Amino acid sequence: MAEPVIFGSHEAQTLAQLRDVAGRAERVALMADGHVGYVMPIGGVAAYRRQVSVVGVGFDIACGNAAIRMDRRVRDYTRAELETLADEIQHVISFGMGRTNRADDAPTDHPLFTDPAWGAVPGKHERDGLKAKARSQLGTVGGGNHYVDVFADEAGDLWVGVHFGSRGLGHTVASGFLALSQGKNWGDRVPEREALFSLDQPLGHDYWQLMTLAGAYAYAGREWVARKVVSILGGAELELVHNHHNFAWQETHDGTDYVVVRKGATPAFPGQRGFVGGSMGDDAVIIEGARHDSERQRASLYSTVHGAGRVMSRTAARGKVNRKTGAVISPGKVTWDMLHQWVGEKGVILRGGGLDESPHAYRRLPDVLAAQGDTVTVLHTLTPLIVVMAGENELDPYRD
Q: With beta carbons less than 8 A apart as the criterion, state whether 362 and 311 touch.
A: yes
φ, ψ for residue 361, nearest 5 deg: -85, 0
Q: Are strands 5-6 and 27-35 parallel, antiparallel or unpaired?
A: parallel
What's the pLDDT at 98?
Answer: 64
The per-residue DSSP string of 248-305 comes to EEEEEETTEEEEEEEESEEE--BT-EEEE---TTS-EEEEEE-TT--HHHHHTTSEEE
The rounded distance, in Å, linking the Cα atoms of 139 and 142 is 9
- Stretch 319-334: mean pLDDT: 80
What's the pLDDT at 325?
Answer: 73
Q: Shortest CA distance to 308 belongs to which of 398, 389, 370?
A: 370
Q: Shortest CA distance to 282 belongs to which of 335, 345, 370?
A: 345
What's the pLDDT at 400?
Answer: 47
Is 2 a residue whose pLDDT tops 90? no
Q: Which fold has domain 5-391?
A: tRNA-splicing ligase RtcB (3.90.1860)
Provide the 10 A C-beta neighbour count for residue 298. 13
The rounded distance, in Å, linking the Cα atoms of 110 and 169 is 15
Q: Say whether 351 sits in a helix, a strand or coil.
A: strand
- Stretch 152-168: mean pLDDT: 97
The rounded distance, in Å, linking the Cα atoms of 375 and 371 is 10
- Stretch 42-53: mean pLDDT: 97
**What pLDDT digit, counting tens, does each position of 346-370 carry?**
999 999 998 888 989 899 999 999 9
The rounded distance, in Å, linking the Cα atoms of 340 and 146 is 19
> How far is C-alpha 380 from the chain's CA centre?
20
Which string of b and e fits 342-358 if b means at least 16 CB within 10 Å?
A: bbeebebbbbbbbbbbb
CA angle 391, 396, 400 (to 5 degrees): 115
Q: Which amino acid is at 104?
A: D
Which residue did the predictor score with more confidence, 157 or 102? 157
What's the pLDDT at 103?
Answer: 77
What's the pLDDT at 27?
Answer: 97
How distant, in Å, are the alpha carbons of 201, 374, 387, 400 from that of 369? 39, 9, 22, 21
Residue 32 burial by Cβ neighbours in a 10 Å radius (0-12, 13-18, 19+): buried
The rounded distance, in Å, linking the Cα atoms of 166 and 91 is 21
The per-residue DSSP string of 40-74 comes to S-EEEEEEESSEEEHHHH-SSTT-EEEEEEEEEEG
Q: Residues 6 or more apart from 187 whose CB is under 8 A from it?
A: 126, 175, 176, 179
Q: Shortest CA distance to 389 belongs to which of 93, 159, 81, 119?
A: 93
Q: Which amino acid is at 45?
A: V
**What pLDDT digit, counting tens, does each position of 207-248 carry?**
999 999 999 999 999 999 999 999 999 999 999 999 999 999
Instruction: Give pTM, 2 decimals.
Output: 0.93
CA angle 393, 399, 400 (to 5 degrees): 140
φ, ψ for residue 193, nearest 5 deg: -125, 155
The rounded distance, in Å, linking the Cα atoms of 308 and 324 is 30
What's the pLDDT at 30?
Answer: 98
> How far is C-alpha 34 from the chain's CA centre?
13
53 - beta bridge partners?
196
| Percent of residues, the chain, with pLDDT higher than 90 | 81
The rounded distance, in Å, linking the Cα atoms of 358 and 362 is 8
**What pLDDT digit, counting tens, does each position of 259-287 carry?**
999 999 999 999 999 999 998 889 999 99
- Stretch 330-337: mean pLDDT: 89
- Stretch 44-59: mean pLDDT: 97
Q: Residues 6 or more apart from 111 whose CB is under 8 A from it?
A: none
How distant, in Å, are the alpha carbons of 58, 262, 276, 357, 362 from that of 246? 7, 6, 13, 19, 19
> Mean pLDDT over all residues of the chain?
93
What residue spans define the domains of the chain?
5-391
